[in-house]
Amino acid sequence: MNASLTLFGRVGLSLIFIISGWGKIAAYAGTQQYMASAGLPGSLLPLVIALELGGGLAVLTGAFTRWIALALAAFSLASAALFHAHLGDAAQAINFWKNVAMAGGFLMLAANGAGTLSLDHAWNKRRNA
């Protein structure tokens, strides 16, 4: 049961980043403008897309999970602070705390690993064989 729950947890954590990464590609110019409105250079967008899409796929498959989970936890907290810190606005407050919750999930994943249904587990098994 633990292996399945860990897998489902990884799926849940990864999907929002995979979908968001694709969305940023589809709305590239608009996303750059949104970043600029928060004081960030639009030139960072390729890195954001790489982290969201690549990191989301890595978490989904359980590859390099501990390091990617730490990176996505930090990214989630930075996004909360930079884009959703207007806690007087109910929608922004919900997004802020959603990002904090996702960071917590990623920290749990970093602490406990991807589980047995993952590429990390398969690679470790092969390495130790």
Write the pLDDT tens digit of every residue in 17-45.
Answer: 999 999 999 999 999 999 999 999 999 99
Contact 99, 84 (CB under 8 A): yes
State mean pLDDT over 49-72: 98
- Split at pLDDT 50, 70, 90, the class of 1 is confident
Q: Is 16 exposed, middle or buried (0-12, 13-18, 19+ CB in 10 A)?
A: middle
Q: What percentage of the chain carries pLDDT values higher than 90?
A: 98
Asked whether the predicted pLDDT for residue 129 surpasses 90, the reply is: no
The residue range of the domain holding 53 is 3-128
What is the number of domains present in the chain?
Answer: 1
Categorize the per-residue pLDDT at 54 as very low, low, confident or very high, splitting at 50, 70 and 90. very high
On the 0-12 / 13-18 / 19+ scale of CB atoms within 10 A, 8 is exposed
For the whole model, what pTM was predicted? 0.94
Q: Is the pLDDT of residue 114 over 90?
A: yes
